[in-house]
Each structure stands twice: as C-alpha cells, then as structure tokens.
Chain A
C-alpha cells in the first residue's frame, strides 16, 4: 500500500514535470528516424558535392542497418536519459528537505526508494514500447516485416540495459545530497563499465552483451548470453539493495 502511494506520487511527478513527455519524444523520434536514416542515407549523401561517387561505395541499405541504427540510438539515449533523470531522484529530495517532510511520516524508506525505481522503470518500459512500435512500423514500410517476437525480446533487453544504469544512478543519488555529485559518480561507474566491456573476453558477461544478444536474435542467431543476463539483473538488484541499506540508516 505504501509502495503504491509513493509510486503514485512519483508517476504524477514524471507527468507534471514533463519528464515522461521528453523521454517519449526523444525515444520515439529516434525510433522513427532509425529506419528512415538507414534507408535514405545513401540518397542524402548524393545531395552533397561529390556525394554521388561516395554513395556508389555504400552498399544498398538492408533491414539490418535499420535495426543496428535503432539499437545504437536506444542504447545511447537510454543511458543519457537514465543518468539525467535519476541523478537527482533522492539527492534533490534530501537537499530540498522534502524527503524529511515525508519520511517523518509512516512511509517506509524502502517504499520511497522502490517507488522511484519502479516509476522510472515504468516510464522507460512505456516509452521504449512506443519507440519500438514506431520503429517496427517504419521498418516494415521501408524494408520488410521483422520477427515480432524477436523484436519484443530485443526491446526487453534494451529496457534491462537501461535499467542497469537507472539502478546504478539511483544508488549514487542515495549516497549524496548533491545531484551533480550523484551524476558524476554514476558517470564514473558507467565509464568503468564501458571500459570493462572493451576488455577482450569480459564484454560478453556485461550488460552491453544483452543488446548484442538481441541484435543477434533479430538475425536468426539463437546463441544465448545468459551470463550477461544474470549479471545485468545483479547490477540492477545489488545497487538497489545497497541504496536501501544505506538510505534506511541515513540522517535526513
């Protein structure tokens, strides 16, 4: 019950502060434009001086180009939005004093934190779904229909990938009263995670592999990456648990 009360407030805040709208616009825009760009990039290049020669060197666009563009855009913008929208979630409430106003009342701190994560998760699920549908439709129009189930799995993996960064940023936001500091720490952790992914042999165990797995699936390759899936789930659960353990002892 307390979780629902706190979630209701968080969801209302995402709507009233236009964050939900901004995330929806950004993700749907890139969802729509990914197949468009893939399709029309060679034609756009012909418009620049000397572009006709260059365009001859570019292979004819395929449905895989549209999917690759979509995966790249959603991954990048998903991370940026996760960082920007989550870094102040707890830090700002502690700094401004609203956390103290509410948490002196019978609202468990765990519910306060969980509601923030669930609201962000719901927001990214809804907006990624909209972006996924938009991209699926345009890909079908401009190229060919892709496997709907595989498309769904790819988007679930994208969501999990973004939620890893939401959980890490929420943890950082719990550590400090400054949202800039929270954002800085989260960015540092993301860079470390990115660099770790570049180490040969290690990348296949990290969250980035989820996206690769989804993209492989779209091409009909059924090779799984369950280790990366498990580690990604761990990278969601562990920061949230750590945030709760820290937050419930913290002075407000």
Chain B
C-alpha cells in the first residue's frame, strides 16, 4: 500500500497556478525527498496533504485513506513539521509537548514518559524550564520535530526540516531522519540538494507546480547524470589545452566540455568510448597531465539538468 498517493492535484491562488495536475505515489517506509526550487509548490502540496489547505481539484490518500473524508483519523497517524514552526511563547517545551500529548489523548504516565523522551531527543534538557519565547530558531526547529513525532506517526511530513539549522544541527536532524527509515514514511520537502542526497532514497522533483520526475535516487542519478571526466594539466601546456578542449568537444562520445583554469570537465554520452579515447587524445595533444579522474555525478547535476530542461522548454 502506498503511504501517500496524489492524483491530479490542482491548486490555484488567484491567477497563479501553484499545483498543476500533480500526481505522485510514495511507498511505505521510504524517506522521500520532495525537491524543487523556491515557489515550486512544495509547501502547498504539504499543506494539502496535512489537511491545512484544500485543492481545487484532484484527490489525496494518506495511509490508504482519502483525506477529505477521513481527516480526523488521518490526523492520528501523521506528524507535521512546518517550515517555520510556531509555538505558544509562554509555554515551556515540556508544557507544549504535554499539550500535544493531551490532544492525542495519551494517558498521563505514557504522556509524561514521552515528553521526557522527546525533550532528550531534541537536546532541550537544559532549556526544559525556559519559555519557548526565548528559544533560538534551531531550538524551535528541534522542538518542532519532537512535537511532530509525539504520536509515533506512520507518515511524517517535514517542510524544509534542516534549512534553518547550523551545520551541527543539520547533521543531527538528518541523522535522525535517517534512523526513521523503515519505521515511518518520511515525506520531506527541501530545496537543499545536499540534504536530499544524504538521506532520501526516493526523490520527486517539482517545478512550477508540476512533477518533473519521481524515482529512486540512484536510478535517477544513473539515468540523468552520466559520469564526467575531469582533466587537470600543467601550466606549461596551457596553450595546447584550449585547442585540445575544442577538439574533444567535437568527438562523438563527448557531450560538452567546460574549462575552469587548468581543469577541464568533460561530460560524456558514452563512458566506455571516453575511457578508451580521452587519454589518447591528451597524449596526442602533448599535454602534461597532473590529474585525471572519473567524477561521480551528483543530484545537483540531475536537478539542474531536469529543471533546466523545464526552463528551456518554457
């Protein structure tokens, strides 16, 4: 059963089409990265999935249940961390988590144990008696994650969970999300490619309210970002370097060549042919080689390629 299923979702704000016939399926137990540039429609999708906003058309199922008819039941099974989590400033973190536990109608003993567990998990033991009003953005983000986990949700919706954190905080949050793999389905929106690359096993890319692609991360990288070669030459042969780059660019196995100083990045369409012929061309050109390597493709390459194609298509 799919943890999240979206069919033909459309959302319009005045003349702006925020979501345009978006369809998507997320399987159970995966960490799904919902990737897209700012304004792509990620937050709108999350708000519809959590029942905070309504679609103009289309349907959404969470945990196999259609959301408009089963909102209360679904609310028991999900957790949600908005991009900028808001709290009652006069409460302490323990009081807020206790309130959340009461909303879920969890018995006093279990609630109290869970509050202590989550305070520890969020690293807020030392701030446990302080009012939330004085918390830093990072502390609020960690508390936001803790409150989203209170009911041990089947599906956890996270909107830019690490974007406001410092490097240490980001690592903690991403490590924690990684630990949830297999226990909960995590649906995480972000525009930070490194975060997705680090924890997500499945990725959906959205742009201008439309799904560009959804696939497993490794399959996506393999399909859309074939390896590239990086060649660095000695400064003595720099005159011949540019002529060589021009020559390579016209080879049938080469897609493009970009040059940054003494380094050339050669994007290829046929890896095996490139492996055979690239070094030979360097030797023939009389270049003095200081570095030669096959560069592993990144999600950033995929993202830029796919979103770039969209922009060109427009």
Contacts and interface: CB of A to CB of B under 8 A. Distances in A.
B90 A107 contact: no
B49 to A, nearest CB: 10
A104 B84 contact: no
Contacts of A249: 54
Nearest to A8: B102
Given A97-B84, A98-B86, A108 B72 contact: yes
A101 B47 contact: no
B82 A107 contact: no
B88 A13 contact: yes
Interface string A89-122: 0000000111011111111100000000000000
Given A8-B102, A9-B99, A97-B84, A106 B75 contact: yes
Interface in B45-100: 47, 50-54, 72, 75-76, 78, 80, 82, 84-88, 90, 99-100
Contacts, number: 62
Contact of A98 (B50, B78, B88, B105): B88
Given A17-B90, A97-B84, A251-B52, A102 B47 contact: no
Which of under 10, 10 to 19, 20 to 34, or 35 or more describes the interface residues of A? 20 to 34
Contact of B52 (A8, A107, A252): A252
Contacts of A13: 88, 90
Contacts of A103: 52
Contact of B104 (A9, A17, A96, A106): A106
A97 B147 CA distance: 14
B75 A104 contact: yes
B144 to A, nearest CB: 8
A199 B87 CA distance: 47
Given A97-B82, A108-B72, A251-B52, A102 B103 contact: yes
A100 B52 CA distance: 7
Nearest to B144: A101
A105 B82 contact: no
A103 B51 CA distance: 9
Interface in A188-245: none
Contact of A105 (B47, B84, B103): B103
A5 B102 CA distance: 6
Nearest to B157: A104
A249 B68 CA distance: 11
A111 B144 CA distance: 23
A98 B104 contact: no
Nearest to B101: A5
Interface in B99-130: 99-100, 102-105
A222 to B, nearest CB: 47
Contacts of A9: 88, 99
Contact of A1 (B82, B90, B105): B105
A105 B100 contact: yes
Contacts of A17: 90
B106 to A, nearest CB: 11
Nearest to A98: B86
A102 B103 CA distance: 8
A62 interface: no
A8 B99 CA distance: 9
7 contacts: A5-B99, A13-B88, A97-B85, A102-B100, A104-B80, A105-B151, A252-B53
Shortest Cβ-Cβ A-B pairs, 4 listed: A97-B86, A106-B75, A16-B90, A5-B102
Given A105-B103, A106-B104, 9 more contacts: A9-B88, A13-B88, A96-B86, A100-B86, A101-B144, A104-B52, A104-B78, A105-B104, A251-B47
